[in-house]
Amino acid sequence: MDGSPLILVVEDSRLTMKLLVDMLTAGGMAVQTALTGEEALAKIAESPPDLVLVDLMLPNMSGYEVCRHIKQQETTKHIPVIILTALEGNDAKLQALEAGCDDFLNKPVNNVELSNRVKSLLRIRRLQEQVQLRERLALSFKNMPLSISGSAISHRQRPLVVLGTIPCREVAEITDTLRQRDLDIAVAHDGNELMAEVLASWPDLVLVDNNLPGKNGFEICREIKGNSDIQHIPVVLMARLADLDSKLKGIELGADDYLIRPVNQLELAARVSSLLRKKKLHDSLFSGLRAAVYASITDSLTGLYNHGYFKEYLRTEFERCQQAKLPLSLLMVDIDHFKQLNDTRGHAFGDLALKEVAMVVLRNVRDIDLVARYGGEEFAVVLQADTEQASAVAERIGRAVAAHLIGANSSLATQVTVSIGCASFPQHSQNWQKLLEQADQALYQAKAAGRNRVCIYQG
């Protein structure tokens, strides 16, 4: 396959199958087909798809049985299943949910609705895969101190749903359905009131009537999806008519789903369950991702940015300064006689020296400057400054390090010095790789000249 999601369509009507295949391939999906449940299970065992679309009324083995078999197997239980039914009423939908299906669609299938349901479930599938990957790496990050403020991540025991709707008899049915799923509910009868609740509580899901006064569902959806802090909160729009234009507009604005009023309570339960699972997976992934990112860009000993992050930052900052015609300087800072320090006082004290020198360097630069551990006993400082300004910073760092007593409360307490090399753009170099080489050369000049000094690159 070319990397497109693989959908298995299980349908005994060749005409319906062709229509479904055409819809899915037009949406960029790769499609496999099966005429019976037995054929479908054989294909799933051989090559698990990303999603299964299965007709309820199949010969020999029903769609319920196919779904139940998929969900009972450890290797396939995470594959999303959508059941297609031409049956009216709630019995078929209830049985589909009991079989473990993730969603259901009524025949004849609407192209927009099919696309929306498939894409939503595929996103959940990708989140599941990523969470599983992060869990395998969890031991590496579980003790990592990490703030996750600034993003709508839920830490509640019970998910919170904010319901925005005009007072009516149906509100009681909706709230009863939600409470039966062990959810907390906050009800708002005005769009401004709803948004205030969303911003105050960061709920796990927003269910909003499109005709809500103050701000309608479209406006609320636009605000939530346009705010980076809360954009991952799922939004379900409720419309009073099966209006295709409203559905399309809601999807374009980023709505995660839509329901037609009067709301079918089984559909509500299915949609809410699916979206809350998606939100929970996103929260797990985002928390793990933040920890992984933190670990991947920082040095575990000193807490400074690491070598890889420094080089990427230097490249992008150099390009920015080059385009904006701003000066940029690079300092390479090396602790003098560090091997001797390790040999005489031990590696634990050497680690302490690295951490304390890192702290001193950080204290003597601006917040906008970047300090990184380049490797070993060497640090890098990137400053938006010309050569004269960078030289003054380098001299200040050198004096501060020399005056600092390493391990002040230890019997091994001592002082160290640093050698510093400096190179600048545009004075010395026209590309970031060369700037790094030149700062390194200036550092070697400082060390060769007797250490404990600052040297500016001399071409």
pLDDT for residue 33: 97
Q: Is there a single domain that holds both residue 336 and residue 446?
A: yes
Residue 127 domain flag: no
Q: Is there a single domain that holds both residue 54 and residue 99?
A: yes
Q: Is there a single domain that holds both residue 18 and residue 51?
A: yes
Amino acid at 445: Q
Q: Is there a single domain that holds both residue 164 and residue 98?
A: no
Residue 128 domain flag: no
Total domains, the chain: 3
Q: Is there a single domain that holds both residue 418 and residue 393?
A: yes
Q: Which CATH number does the domain housing residue 191 bear?
A: 3.40.50.2300
Q: Is there a single domain that holds both residue 313 and residue 433?
A: yes
Q: Which domain holds residue 332?
A: 307-456
pLDDT for residue 139: 39
Catalytic residue among 197, 317, 356, 377: 377
Residue 116 domain flag: no
Q: Which CATH number does the domain housing residue 311 bear?
A: 3.30.70.270
Which residues pair with residue 104 across a beta bridge?
Answer: 83
Q: Is there a single domain that holds both residue 249 and residue 371?
A: no
* Residue 110 burial (C-beta neighbours within 10 Å; 0-12, 13-18, 19+): middle
Q: Is there a single domain that holds both residue 284 and residue 314?
A: no
Q: Is there a single domain that holds both residue 187 and residue 283?
A: yes
Q: Is there a single domain that holds both residue 245 and residue 336?
A: no
Q: Is there a single domain that holds both residue 188 and residue 264?
A: yes
pLDDT for residue 142: 38
pLDDT, one tens digit for every residue, the chain (459 residues): 445 789 999 999 999 999 999 999 998 899 999 999 999 999 999 999 999 999 999 999 999 999 999 999 988 988 999 999 887 666 777 777 777 888 888 888 888 888 888 888 887 777 666 555 445 433 333 333 333 334 555 557 789 999 999 888 888 999 998 998 889 999 999 999 999 999 988 999 999 998 899 998 889 988 998 887 788 898 998 887 655 566 566 666 678 888 888 888 888 888 888 888 878 877 776 665 556 666 677 888 998 989 988 998 898 889 888 987 889 999 999 999 999 999 999 999 999 999 999 999 999 998 778 999 999 999 999 998 999 999 999 999 999 999 999 999 889 999 999 999 999 999 998 899 999 999 999 999 999 999 999 999 987
Taking phi over 0 as left and psi of -120 to 50 as alpha, with beta for the rest, 150 belongs to left
Instruction: Give catalytic status of residue 377 as yes or no.
Output: yes
| Final residue in a domain of this structure, among 291, 321, 350 | 291
Q: Is there a single domain that holds both residue 324 and residue 385?
A: yes
